[in-house]
Structure 1
Amino acid sequence: MNYREVSGEREFVARLGHGADWRAEIESLADDEDVDAAWFVAMGAVRDAEVWFYDQTEKEYREVRFDEPLEVAACVGNVSLLDGERFAHTHAVLSRRSGQALAGHLDSATVFAGELYMRTFDEELVRERDEPTDLDLWL
């Protein structure tokens, strides 16, 4: 296990822009406030979504696209640096009108309504390729 203590005092709440991209809005807040490391939670609704599932055998992401209104029942993630850019690693549980749940790595989604809470860390988090998983993970 690789771990370290982090500290931070900055917290933000934000309303994501109607019609904007969900993950891009989070990254925009991080850019605007010079945040290199943070943890966030969010909820709301989207008009569509592209969710990724990581195939552990093939070591590649498989995308699934949903072109329908979905509730964002839960969204959690973190902000870190990936190739020198701020990256919002975002996972979400989405629900259909029927109540069926869909979940995975949220790559993109069009915001209908979204509310976000973010707590920053003073220490930056940097992602680099992890050989056993072939994923970009924290150092």
Structure 2
Amino acid sequence: MDYREVEATREFVCRLEHGRDWRAQIEEFAADEGIDAAFFRGLGAVQDAEVYFYDQDTQEYEGVTFNEPLEVAAAVGNISLLEGEPFAHTHAVLSRRDGEALAGHLNAATTFAGELHVQAFDETLEREHDETTDLDLWGL
């Protein structure tokens, strides 16, 4: 395991805007606040969602789009730099009206309502290509 110690220097509570993309808002917020590394948690609801699953055999993302209202039962993620820009790596558990759960890498979603807690670090984390997984992971 690679690791390094980081210190949380700022914390924010955020309310996402109705009708805007969930992940894009987090990335815009990070750019506005100069956040190069953070962890966040959130909840709320979305009007639709594009969820990715990473196939470890083919090393490619497979996307599924849900064009329906969904509860964001839990969202967790981190912010780091990817090609010099803030990237919000977001995973979410989404639920349907009947309680069925959907989960995965939240690529995009139209926000109905959303609340976040963001813990920013006094560090920069930059994603680097990892040959083994073919993913862009933290360069520690």
Q: Same fold judged by TM-score > 0.5?
A: yes
Q: Deviations over 1:57-77 (max 9, x none)?
A: 000000000000000000000
Q: 1:107 and 1:79 mapped to 2: Cα distance? A: 14
Q: What is the identity, as a one-letter code, of the residue corresponding to 1:86?
A: P
Task: Tell me by how many angstroms 1:100 deviates.
Answer: 0.3
Q: 1:138 and 1:91 mapped to 2: Cα distance? A: 16
TM-score for both structures, normalised by structure 2: 0.98
2:134 equivalent in structure 1 = 134
2:78 equivalent in structure 1 = 78
CA RMSD of aligned residues (A): 0.5
SS at match of 1:76: strand
Q: Deviations over 1:79-99 (max 9, x none)?
A: 000011100000000000010
Q: Mind listing any 5+ residue stretches in structure 1 that lack a counterpart?
A: none
Q: Please tell me whether residue 111 in structure 1 is matched to residue 111 in structure 2.
A: yes
1:56 equivalent in structure 2 = 56
> Share of identical aligned residues, percent?
68
Task: Tell me by how many angstroms 1:28 deviates.
Answer: 1.1
Q: 2:29 and 2:53 mapped to 1: Cα distance? A: 26
Q: 1:42 and 1:25 mapped to 2: Cα distance? A: 13
Q: Mind listing any 5+ residue stretches in structure 2 that lack a counterpart?
A: none
Task: Tell me by how many angstroms 1:40 deviates.
Answer: 0.1
Q: 1:84 and 1:63 mapped to 2: Cα distance? A: 25
SS at match of 1:35: coil
Q: Please tell me whether residue 31 in structure 1 is matched to residue 31 in structure 2.
A: yes
Q: Please tell me whether residue 101 in structure 1 is matched to residue 125 in structure 2.
A: no
Task: Tell me by how many angstroms 1:118 deviates.
Answer: 0.1
> For this pair of structures, how many residues does the alignment match?
139
Q: 1:21 and 1:41 mapped to 2: Cα distance? A: 16
Q: What is the identity, as a one-letter code, of the residue corresponding to 1:113?
A: A
Q: What is the identity, as a one-letter code, of the residue corresponding to 2:37?
A: A
